[in-house]
Amino acid sequence: MRWCAILLPAMLYAAVAAAEVPVPSPPRGDGAQCVEPTEVMRRDHMKFLMHQRDETMHRGIRTTKHSLVECLSCHTRKDDEGRFVSINAPGEFCQECHAYSGVTMDCFGCHATTPRQPTSRSAQSLGRLLSDTSFRLHIQP
Ligand code: HEC
Ligand code: HEC
Ligand code: HEC
């Protein structure tokens, strides 16, 4: 009788734990492969990003291989209406693992979380018009 009182709750607990503890499964990226072998990316992506950041910010070197902007082009998904979902939303690529591992990062306070959409032709010409000095002189009071 007594073993039952001990063992049964333990068995139940194990069953519940097995069902509830999720292992992160980030959505697969687009394309055949990542910018480095997957194993390497899993372990070292933060090092590549920080290194790339230093290269760009302090030395003015711009490459695309480890660019944060590039990650978005393969690791964001679209919703049912065809709009990009934030790469850092719950269940999406970056957040899926980080939530599991308790990682917090501030990168997306400044960096975009969806790929840049091509601006429409009319928006581009409006931008040109607004930056044109003679046009600005006309509208200034
Ligand atoms: C306070 C705002 C801010 C925060 C926070 C921030 N960045 Fe940046 N980051 C910038 C700016 C501004 C640039 C320069 C943008 C450019 O010139 O392309 C930059 C450039 C970069 C670059 C080089 C450009 C590229 O995409 O290759 C990388 C990589 C990068 N940041 C990664 C990160 C990572 C990783 C984090 C989080 C750990 C982070 N940043 C947090 C503002 C920020
Ligand atoms: C050309 C598309 C592409 C680009 C760009 C890209 N990735 Fe990937 N990434 C993939 C693919 C595809 C996989 C899965 C490969 C596999 O299953 O072996 C992957 C896998 C990963 C993984 C491992 C995921 C897992 O399931 O364990 C990480 C982490 C990762 N990428 C981070 C990044 C970061 C950070 C960047 C930007 C510096 C980036 N990726 C840029 C396509 C890309
Ligand atoms: C396969 C799981 C996985 C994916 C996918 C993933 N990360 Fe990570 N990331 C981790 C883990 C685990 C750590 C903590 C590693 C450590 O503490 O040594 C981490 C740490 C980081 C750090 C360092 C945070 C800090 O302050 O120490 C940055 C920056 C980062 N990830 C950026 C990204 C970005 C950007 C993406 C999406 C493009 C991404 N990661 C996707 C697992 C992942």
Residue 7 has pLDDT above 80, yes or no: no
Q: Which ligand has the nearest atom to the CA of 34? A: 2
| Amino acid (1-letter code) at residue 13 | Y
Q: Tens of pLDDT along 96-106?
A: 999 999 999 99
**Could you identify the residue written with the tokens 């292992």?**
23
What average pLDDT does the structure give for the chain? 81
Using CA atoms, how far apart are residues 133 and 34, in angstroms rounded to an integer? 45
Q: Which atom of ligand 1 is nearest to the CA of 66?
A: 27
Residue 119 has pLDDT above 70, yes or no: no
Question: What share of the chain in percent tops pLDDT 70?
Answer: 67
Tokens of 105: 């990062």
Range of lowest pLDDT (20-24, 33-37, 94-98): 20-24
Q: Work out the burial of residue 45: count CB atoms within 10 Å of its CB; fewer than 13 is exposed, 13-18 middle, 19 or more buried.
A: middle
Ligand closest to 53 (CA) is 1
The pLDDT value given to residue 116: 82
- pLDDT beyond 80 at 82: yes
Q: How does residue 135 score in pLDDT terms, banded at 50, 70 and 90?
A: very low
**pLDDT tier, 63 (very low <50, low <70, confident <90, very high otherwise):** confident
Region 12-17: mean pLDDT is 56
Q: Is 73 in the pocket of ligand 2 (CB under 6 A)?
A: yes
What band does 29 get if pLDDT is binned at 50, 70 and 90? Answer: very high
Distance 69 CA to ligand 1 centre (A): 9
70, pLDDT greater than 60: yes
